[in-house]
Amino acid sequence: MNASINRPYLVFFLLQFAWVVATQADVTAPNWDRTLALRMIDKADMQYRLKSLYQMAREGSSTELLESLLAIEQDPALTAPERDYLMFNFAAGLSDLDPGTVEPALLDYLSAYQARTLVAHDEHPGMTVPLFNIPAAAAGVRNHWHRQQAAAQAEKLLRGPADSWVSTYLTEDQAGRRGFLDALEFGSGAELRGLGQAALARLEEWPELTLLAARAGLRSGDTSLLRQAIARGGGPDLSQALRAAASDLSAKECIGLLEHSLRQDSDTKAALAIAHLAPARLGDPAVQDLLFSTLADHSLGAAAALVLGASPDPAVQRRLSDIASQDTGLAKERAALAIQSRKAEMGADQ
């Protein structure tokens, strides 16, 4: 069987599929009980069928594969949960294969597939959801493959001008940018510092370069570059950059970045730094002292209190109790806030 699909043949089947979908009733209420639907699925038989589908995908038999999917969709011997289960698991499993293993038209088919098994939402019984969300699984495959392809492209571009790499990064969507960031793992220290400086130069116009500049600093071990990215960056990427720093930095480096962030003019950035950097290092006395000294700060005391309140360390909790019972002013109020937040958290866990 040819690896590529005969176009007129494909169009015929996709039109047939669209007609079937269009003629279905618009079902807005659940039509299956979740537990019963799952019991209807014969896992052993489904695995046998899935193995056959994946074999066709790996062989590039796209036309035969499309025929098989359409046959499953229209097979009267299969229950709706079985059909949806097969379509969902086949779509999700494609992410384990190389990008482009199947024709884009097959992903189009799965993206347009209308699930027949509708159940009540677990947490909101008044809402109806598909038991198996096939379009979401297909979208996940597209994003995963695009991320892999972008990473491969970005790795090649590392050997070229840093400005060109950064410009291409900016043209990518979210999945593509993640792929570009993945490629930083393969860059040399010099290449990463070059990318970081190129990103810093454009941060004012493109705040979405914050994460790139910060990651370049982290991967190259350039603390100055990382601090500049945090100080000059902004937008949603700032939180991601701080989370990455909290995960990758040593305790000493993390404390240094936290102290640096607290010295900046932006209270918003300082509060984010406390929220992301302090919890993982709260066992360090230097971090504890830094947060306790911040309790009386008009803008940052509440952020410090929430982190301290989450600590299970008895010594931290005793220190908070002492401040709440003896001090006056903002420090006393923030210590009381920390204690209350701790009690509320413990109550919610019981």
In contact, 276 and 246? CB cutoff 8 Å: yes
Whether 161 and 137 share a structural domain: no
Dist CA 242 CA 293 (whole Å)? 22
In contact, 144 and 94? CB cutoff 8 Å: no
Please tell me the predicted confidence (pLDDT) of residue 217.
Answer: 97
Whether 23 and 89 share a structural domain: yes
- Mean pLDDT (whole number) for 155-184: 97
Dist CA 186 CA 62 (whole Å)? 34
Whether 132 and 168 share a structural domain: no
**281, pLDDT greater than 90:** no
Phi-psi region of 32 (alpha: psi -120 to 50; beta: other; left: phi over 0): beta
Domain containing 177: what range? 146-289
C-alpha pair distances (Å), 156 with each of 149, 151, 165, 211: 11, 9, 10, 20
- Domain for residue 211, yes or no? yes
Please tell me the predicted confidence (pLDDT) of residue 278.
Answer: 92
Whether 39 and 168 share a structural domain: no
C-alpha pair distances (Å), 187 with each of 98, 171, 203, 222, 276: 23, 20, 21, 14, 26
Whether 257 and 165 share a structural domain: yes
Whether 193 and 141 share a structural domain: no
Q: Which two tokens stand for residue 45?
A: 């038989």
Burial 255-294 (b: 16+ CB within 10 A, else e): bbbbebbbeeeeeebbbbbbbbbbeebbeeeebbebbbeb
- Domain for residue 89, yes or no? yes
- Domain for residue 187, yes or no? yes
Whether 137 and 214 share a structural domain: no
* Strand, coil or helix: 118: strand
- Domain for residue 316, yes or no? no
- Domain for residue 65, yes or no? yes
**8, pLDDT greater than 70:** no
**What interhelical angle do 285-294 and 301-309 show, nearest 10?**
140
DSSP-assigned beta bridge partners for residue 129:
119
Whether 72 and 158 share a structural domain: no
- Number of domains composing the chain: 2
Residue type, 33: D
> pTM score > 0.95 for this model?
no
Dist CA 185 CA 196 (whole Å)? 14
**347, pLDDT greater than 90:** no
Express each pLDDT in 212-247 by its tens digit. 999 999 999 999 999 999 999 988 899 999 999 998
Whether 88 and 162 share a structural domain: no
- Domain for residue 337, yes or no? no
Which of 96, 127, 145 is at the close of a domain? Answer: 145
Dist CA 191 CA 206 (whole Å)? 20
Which of 252, 272, 289 is at the close of a domain? Answer: 289
Which of 145, 167, 200 is at the close of a domain? Answer: 145
Express each pLDDT in 282-292 by its tens digit. 888 989 999 99
**186, pLDDT greater than 60:** yes
- Domain for residue 42, yes or no? yes
Q: Which of 70-79, 181-190, 297-306, 320-329 has the weakest average pLDDT?
A: 320-329
In contact, 150 and 181? CB cutoff 8 Å: no
**344, pLDDT greater than 60:** yes
Whether 167 and 134 share a structural domain: no
Burial 128-158 (b: 16+ CB within 10 A, else e): ebbbbbbbebbbbbbbbbbbbbbbebbbebb
Among 182-186, 307-311, 340-344, the range with the most confident prediction by mean pLDDT is 182-186
- Domain for residue 329, yes or no? no
Dist CA 274 CA 291 (whole Å)? 8
In contact, 83 and 72? CB cutoff 8 Å: yes
Instruction: Look over the chain and give the mean of its residue pLDDT values, rounded to a whole number.
Output: 88
Counts for the chain of helices (H) and strands (E), in that order: 19, 2
In contact, 230 and 273? CB cutoff 8 Å: yes
- Mean pLDDT (whole number) for 306-311: 92
Whether 197 and 245 share a structural domain: yes
Dist CA 342 CA 314 (whole Å)? 12
Whether 42 and 69 share a structural domain: yes
